[in-house]
Chain A
Amino acid sequence: MARLFDILGPTMVGPSSSHTAGACRLGFVVQAVAGGLPDRARICLHGSFAMTGEGHGTKLAILGGLLGLLPDNPRIREAERLATETGLEWEFHTCDLGEDAHPNSARFEVWREEEELEIVGSSIGGGRIRIEEIDGFAVDLSGSFSTMVVLADDIPGTVARITSLLASNDVNLATMRVDRTGRGGRAMMTIETDSDVPFVVVEELRNESWVHWIRNVHQLNA
């Protein structure tokens, strides 16, 4: 939290970097991981998000993010109307995600084209976020890098295939994480890279028999 444009910025619609800008980024990354605008979203707000979120436009910001708006887009204020017009069905709840959850956390259940995803994330201060869980798999995504999220069969050779494909396309790996705590026989891989992964690479991986789904999340502007 000491980079120049974290201090001189972000440029954002008010009123709170954590409750508004961070909430919007959470919604944005959730729709990107879901592969685009969801048909339906059920969002539960935990802790301070639930307590003081109403006055901070947290719900509008999350909806705006789900619609693909970034924190500096003034249309976040009209997010409810825009969501209705685009056919996004949504509902908000409050919930308790437990003592260990960050005070500004949310759990998203999103449905898009017959697919359901459950994502847990938090707004960790100054507009920065962390996605902690996707469908029961532990992840650690900041949105500060270009990110590929891959649900794959848990078989040997998959990591090597991905890393060699990235290397041969001159994409530098920042972090890679594999988690198998979710459904049996599958692994969730999250790969953060210094530059965007070329579209063709994503398609090549999508065609692999062991890939269930793959999503490319663009870097959020700090």
Chain B
Amino acid sequence: MIRSIAEWFAAAETEGLDLADVILNREAQESGASAEQIRKRIVETLAVMERAVAEGLETEEPSPSGMTGGRSARLMRSSPSFFGPQFTSMLARAIATLEVNARMGLIAAAPTAGAAGVVPAVLLTMRELRGWSTDDLVRGLLVAGGVGSVIAQRASIAGAGGGCQAETGSAAAMASAAVAYLEGGTPEQVGQAIGLTLQGMLGLICDPVAGLVEIPCAYRNASAAVQAVAAAEMALAGLDFPISVDEVIDVMGEVGRKMDVRYRETALGGLAATPSGQRIAELSGMSELVQLQRRGRTHGEDTSRFGPS
């Protein structure tokens, strides 16, 4: 098991392999599956990602709460597209996956269901722009998986563990590393892409309205996709971030652990606990949650045991 980005890159150098192959070999060793079986399963995962994006853009049916559904399609129709149509597509794809997720559609968690929009939005859009093949995408997803795996061990990929920085932040770091790698970045530049992504996501709280994986999650997936591409672009230009990537990941872990439990997926703080958020929770039949939000606010009760994970 690879425990740090530094260890991963060092292994690539000693073994004379590129970053994706190190992950592929390790997974084959640990799971007993062949490289071909692993590649096949990644292609299947990619197909689930593509179908979810397409379904989200096509189906305008609202989610049961009404908070999402049809928003990605509206963005495609009505956006002023300041940065061109691909930028708009990327945002819409991120939101589309979360809209499918909210309607209990089929998605591929990457690394979680709540952050499942980021990696597909970035990779599918970059494929259009850069002409990547399916094999390229598989290699990119191996690199993304390696990044997520290191973050899961050193920090957290769960909102209940480390807030939204751990979910959409990790997803953005995974996507950014894949872009830097597939665009011919050196391992050092891939590392810079991860660090440059995470430094901009640090501290982001997880405060889902009515406890549902919808708002702000869908929009945070869109902004995390932007962060991922911006960081990859800066890294590939040779812009450096002077704090080592593993140190940045450790800081994310530390911030997550110190984050108040209200901001770690309990729906007891942040946007979820605003009067607007409480109204939506009431309408969604979650009056017990609203009572807790009110109690937590007035008495500062310990609500940690109600946190989802």
Contacts and interface: CB of A to CB of B under 8 A. Distances in A.
B145 A13 contact: no
B141 interface: yes
Contacts, number: 159
A151 B114 CA distance: 40
A11 B309 contact: no
Given A48-B306, A55-B212, A126-B109, A11 B48 contact: yes
Residue from A7, A11, A18, A126 having most chain B Cβ neighbours under 10 A: A7
B42 A74 contact: no
A17 B109 contact: yes
Contact of B106 (A18, A54, A55, A72): A72
A55 B286 contact: yes
Contacts of A104: 308-309
A9 interface: yes
A9 B100 CA distance: 15
Given A9-B110, A51-B292, 12 more contacts: A1-B157, A7-B110, A7-B148, A12-B108, A14-B103, A14-B213, A15-B113, A15-B114, A18-B160, A21-B109, A51-B288, A126-B158
Interface of B: 1, 23, 27, 30-31, 38, 41-42, 44-45, 48, 64-65, 100-114, 116, 141-142, 144-145, 148-150, 152-153, 157-158, 160-161, 174, 210-214, 266-267, 284-286, 288-289, 292, 305-309
27 contacts: A1-B157, A2-B1, A3-B27, A4-B149, A6-B152, A7-B111, A8-B108, A8-B145, A11-B108, A11-B109, A13-B105, A14-B102, A15-B212, A16-B114, A17-B109, A17-B113, A52-B211, A52-B286, A60-B104, A74-B105, A76-B104, A77-B104, A103-B306, A123-B309, A125-B309, A126-B111, A126-B112
